[in-house]
Chains A and B, each alone.
Chain A
């Protein structure tokens, strides 16, 4: 059966559980694609005062929220635990203390109700998310780009990924966060940079763009981040870094930085697709919400006869629908995890 065919309403029913970082999420998906419910309880407001996710807080709030979030997902889907075929849960990568909350809940429910258990890789689920809402022609090149990851994969089908290359230093989302801090913008930096950039000129500053050499795909955002710092120092490495309040022309800096980061992401992705003669590009992960990335990727892909597909914003950021979806496909392929299933940080 082609990956693009939605399963009938008789497809397997899977509960997905996701708690790898700072969102507690549960979802019920039928047939790997039909989302019956998707509940995400964000902890962002708890972490904002600390400028990032605090693992201890994350673990505690997952523990508090996991039960209600699962109950809500089941209720919104109108199903009970005994209707399920399997429970899929994120097992890697992420913060161990957070992953373990979701994994323990999944194991307890599966054991108590005699359900199958499937462990899911968070990054593979992000890539799968791009195939849930759209009919995708494989093979595809998938760019997974977030605060912790920037990597390109070759996908033979919706569930098989092969790493083509990744960042040599910082993730793209991390560069957005660090530049946002230099400009005195709030965490997380991506939406703030995008908002500030709206009023700026993306051609105001010609920040350097890293280019991979040879055939292997790679990214690097460290040089761009440092170039922004030098710009703030007025080009003098020995000058002090100005306080964020004293930085002038923030919109131009944000717009020029964003243009350079987007250009690197798009160029490398399109180049990888062209090298392999692949006509489908999928983009997923939190940074896939960035409007400029969407615009430029669509524009350049179209110019090269490539179709670029993004999940809708709700499925770019962390969610459990993608976990249930990929889990369903793996379950259908016969995959079952044992009780020894463990969480891994990377």
Chain B
């Protein structure tokens, strides 16, 4: 049973990157982050911040076509994209899945399309459109797992972020405001 743990409303792509950066700073080897949400909801933008938090130099672009991009930071960052689900499944079956338990951090865009390949213990973020600029970002552990403790520490880290007017914590039950 998935328990909702945290939610934010982001006012801008840069605020979404700041959330990613804060998470990136706290990530540990072997961490797996699934990203859900439709086109343009902020998944790649979030990964740009995550990479910044991991100290990855240079630009982060969409890996839709290349299926996976490996980036070098404080930890290696494996950036997967499952928009083309059959392609990504094939990559994972061809050995790509080994990177999910490797020495680096794996972040998977369109995670719902390759869910069967992802470890049960992971962090999952769901992005949704609120307005052309604003996004709601819900962060949760998809299932109760003995190995969730490290992910709970990540959630605690995000819950304790300094106040950011463009990145507001939401009460978990509130529907998005019009």
Contact = CB atoms under 8 A, between A and B. Distances in A.
Given A169-B44, A222-B44, A52 B130 contact: no
Contacts of A171: 61-62, 65
Contact of A52 (B40, B70, B84): B84
Contacts of B87: 50-55
B66 to A, nearest CB: 6
B91 interface: yes
Given A170-B64, A225-B39, A238-B130, A50 B84 contact: yes
A9 interface: no
Contact of B66 (A50, A148, A225): A148
A268 B113 CA distance: 35
A317 interface: no
Nearest to B84: A52
B172 to A, nearest CB: 18
A229 B38 contact: yes
A95 B130 contact: no
Contacts of B93: 56
A51 B62 contact: no
Interface string B103-145: 0000000000000000000000000011110100000000000
Contact of A237 (B59, B67, B70, B130): B130
Question: Chain B contact residues: over half helix, strand or loop, or mixed?
Answer: loop
Contacts of B8: none
A238 B38 CA distance: 12
A210 interface: no
B26 interface: no
A290 interface: no
A196 interface: no
A147 interface: yes
Contacts of B83: 178
A72 interface: no
Contacts of A182: 39
Contact of B61 (A170, A177, A223, A237): A170
A237 B131 contact: yes
Nearest to B129: A237
B65 A173 contact: yes
A147 B69 contact: no
Interface residues of B, number: 31
Determine which residue in A52, A59, A147, A241 has the highest number of CB atoms from chain B within 10 A of its CB, and name it.
A52
A178 B39 CA distance: 8
Interface in A34-70: 50-57, 59
Interface in A166-187: 166-171, 173-174, 177-178, 182
Interface string B135-178: 00000000000000000000000000000000000000000101
Given A174-B65, A182-B39, A345-B66, A52 B94 contact: no
B86 interface: yes
A97 interface: yes
A238 B39 contact: no
B130 A174 contact: no
A346 interface: yes
Contacts of B129: 230, 237-238
A75 B134 CA distance: 60
A345 B63 CA distance: 12
A241 B64 contact: no
A55 B90 CA distance: 6
A51 B69 contact: no
Interface in A117-174: 147-148, 166-171, 173-174
Contacts of B94: 55-56, 59, 97
A241 B129 CA distance: 11
Determine which residue in B61, B69, B93, B176 has the highest number of CB atoms from chain A within 10 A of its CB, and name it.
B61
Contacts of A57: 90
Q: Name the 6 nearest CB pairs between A and B, nearest first.
A: A226-B40, A52-B84, A50-B86, A148-B65, A237-B129, A56-B90
8 contacts: A50-B87, A51-B85, A54-B86, A56-B93, A166-B59, A167-B61, A345-B66, A345-B68
Given A50-B86, A346-B69, 8 more contacts: A52-B86, A55-B67, A93-B66, A166-B61, A171-B62, A173-B65, A229-B40, A237-B134
